[in-house]
Amino acid sequence: MKILHNHPLISYNYFKVHALAHELILIEREEDYAELINRTGFNKIPFLILGDGSNILFTRDFEGTCIKTGLSDISTIKENEEYAWLRIEAGMNWHSLVIKTIEMGLQGLENLSLIPGTVGAAPVQNIGAYGVEIKQFIDQVEALDLKGGEVFLFNARDCEFEYRSSIFKNRYKNRFFIKSITLQLNKKPSFNISYDKIQDTLGLLNLKEINAKNISDAVIYIRESKLPDPAKIGNAGSFFKNPIIDKTDFEGLKAEFPRIPSYQVDKFNYKIPAAWLIEECGWKGKRIGDAGVNPSQPLVLVNMGSASGKDILRLSERIKKDVAQKFGIELQPEVNII
Ligand code: EPU
């Protein structure tokens, strides 16, 4: 394994802000995991597990050990007529996995095309897009307990998946290092094109056949047309979660703001697009210094040049305050703030 001291994290975060890691450990071989947990005093140090840095905001240096794996093997561990079970190591890029599964003739992940980040980070926040979430395909998550040194296998129920959340983001935050995941994917066609946007884009691109490749192409087209490319402009996708409010609160808001968009989650709860709340507060396309609100999707905050993590945090707090004042809704960050 590679151990780096006082190492800059600018190339390890999509916001492209400056911060230092007291120590950065890069896992390069399977044996490195044992070496890691056998280090003297390893379980007393604060850890931060890094993926690609596509969902993190550094507002300070990290005074402990950042760990990142580069292991990215993929193998089919079993299959039957209907399904294939793939084991993928945590360091693989998520979108490369999606493309690979499509090439293998497997279906399920196409709606999750172009989501930035690594395979290991995907279950942590139960990534989702266009009506699909990774939890639908998780068979197992293999995770190393950084406190005790043992490896545990979590099934989908153990992971306690929720909207943009799991046990690895809550109770076990920075406790378990995800080494690999096993996904159960369909060999037979089974698609979710329930979102109008996907159907409209398939039409727009003249993609007539409903298959994984065409749906993936449509999703890539949608994402590229509204989300800023992190290679060009620092951002970490949606900064806040879409808030979920109960029926009584929703009805109160609807009476006051009849145009408020909503999705009914269940009998008692409604999800409100945070993008709409932010736009209604006048923040769309605004900036404070180099910290800005993306003009085509205001749920995405951007680094327009040399914003620091604190600048972006400050902007997010201003937005949060305005949304709370106008709508009585507390926005929660989706991004992991350090
Ligand atoms: N909207 C506005 N103004 C805008 C843009 C959007 O008011 O300028 C409102 C509209 O009502 C629109 C609604 O927001 O219908 C939803 O917008 P969009 O379809 O872009 O999706 P989102 O709810 O903002 C979520 C995920 C995205 C995912 C998309 C597609 C969260 C926090 N974000 O965004 O995930 O790609 O749905 O399914 O759930 C991410 O997590 O980083 C991410 C990009």
What pLDDT digit, counting tens, does each position of 125-141 carry? Answer: 999 999 999 999 999 99
Q: Is the pLDDT of residue 42 over 80?
A: no
Same domain for 80 and 9?
Answer: no
Same domain for 79 and 179?
Answer: yes
State how many domains the chain has.
3
Same domain for 167 and 96?
Answer: yes
Same domain for 13 and 55?
Answer: yes
Please give the single-letter amino acid code of residue 13. N
Q: Quick check: is 206 in a domain?
A: no
Q: Quick check: is 222 in a domain?
A: no
Q: Quick check: is 197 in a domain?
A: no
Contact 2, 28 (CB under 8 A): yes
Q: Which pLDDT does position 262 carry in this prediction?
A: 96
Closest to 271 in 3D by CA, of 247, 251, 242, 241? 242
Pocket probe mutation, ligand 1, options 297, 301, 316, max atoms within 8 Å of Cβ = 297
Contacts of residue 167, Cβ cutoff 8 Å, sequence gap at least 6: 154, 158, 159, 160
Q: How far apart are CA 334 and CA 169, in angstroms?
A: 11
Same domain for 250 and 333?
Answer: yes
- 325, exposed or middle or buried, with CB in 10 Å at 0-12, 13-18, 19+? exposed
* Structure-block tokens of residue 86: 């793939």
Pocket probe mutation, ligand 1, options 113, 125, 200, 238, max atoms within 8 Å of Cβ = 238
**What CATH number does residue 44 fall under?**
3.30.43.10
Same domain for 125 and 149?
Answer: yes
Same domain for 65 and 93?
Answer: no
Same domain for 182 and 85?
Answer: yes
Query: What are 164-198's pLDDT values in tens digits?
Result: 999 999 999 989 999 999 999 999 998 999 999 99
Q: Quick check: is 16 in a domain?
A: yes
**What CATH number does residue 169 fall under?**
3.30.465.10
* Structure-block tokens of residue 18: 């400056």
Q: For strand 132-133 and strand 151-155, is the pairing parallel, antiparallel, or unpaired? A: unpaired
Name the residue with the closest Cα to ligand 1, atom 5. Answer: 297
Q: Quick check: is 207 in a domain?
A: no
- Ligand 1 is surrounded, with C-beta below 6 A, by 129-130, 237-238, 241-242, 261, 273, 275-276, 279, 284, 297-299, 334
Same domain for 177 and 271?
Answer: no
Name the residue with the closest Cα to ligand 1, atom 20. Answer: 297
Residue identified by tokens 């972006």 is 312
CA-based torsion, 291, 295, 299, 302: positive or negative: negative
Query: Which residue, of 27, 54, 69, is where some domain finishes?
Result: 69
Query: Which residue, of 69, 89, 110, is where some domain finishes?
Result: 69
Centre of ligand 1 from the C-alpha of residue 219, in Å: 13
Name the residue with the closest Cα to ligand 1, atom 7. Answer: 276
Centre of ligand 1 from the C-alpha of residue 273, in Å: 6
Centre of ligand 1 from the C-alpha of residue 179, in Å: 30
Tell me the catalytic residues. Answer: 164, 238, 334
Same domain for 86 and 136?
Answer: yes
Q: Quick check: is 160 in a domain?
A: yes
Contacts of residue 147, Cβ cutoff 8 Å, sequence gap at least 6: 43, 175
Stretch 210-219: mean pLDDT, rounded? 97
Same domain for 242 and 319?
Answer: yes
Same domain for 57 and 80?
Answer: no
Name the residue with the closest Cα to ligand 1, atom 43. Answer: 238
Which pLDDT band holds residue 39 (cuts at 50, 70, 90)?
confident
Helix, strand, or coil here: 113?
coil
Please give the single-letter amino acid code of residue 199. Q
Segments forming the whole domain that contains residue 182: 74-186
* Structure-block tokens of residue 307: 């914003």
Taking the CA of residue 125 as reference, the ligand 1 atom at the shortest distance is 41
Taking the CA of residue 116 as reference, the ligand 1 atom at the shortest distance is 42
Q: How far apart are CA 230 and CA 335, in angstroms?
A: 15
Q: Which pLDDT does position 43 carry in this prediction?
A: 72
Query: What are 51-69's pLDDT values in tens digits?
Result: 999 999 999 999 999 999 9
Query: Which residue, of 124, 151, 186, is where some domain finishes?
Result: 186
Name the residue with the closest Cα to ligand 1, atom 22. Answer: 273
Contact 221, 227 (CB under 8 A): no
- The CA-based diameter of the chain, rounded to the nearest angstrom, is 61
Stretch 291-313: mean pLDDT, rounded? 97
Centre of ligand 1 from the C-alpha of residue 270, in Å: 15
Q: Quick check: is 46 in a domain?
A: yes
Helix, strand, or coil here: 32?
helix
Q: Is the pLDDT of residue 41 over 80?
A: no
**Integer CA distances (angstroms), 49 to 2, 86, 146, 282, in order:** 15, 23, 10, 36
**Integer CA distances (angstroms), 218 to 130, 174, 215, 333, in order:** 11, 35, 5, 28
Q: What is the mean pLDDT of the chain?
A: 96
Q: Quick check: is 223 in a domain?
A: no
Centre of ligand 1 from the C-alpha of residue 130, in Å: 9
Contact 48, 67 (CB under 8 A): yes
Q: Which pLDDT does position 234 carry in this prediction?
A: 97
Name the residue with the closest Cα to ligand 1, atom 30. Answer: 129
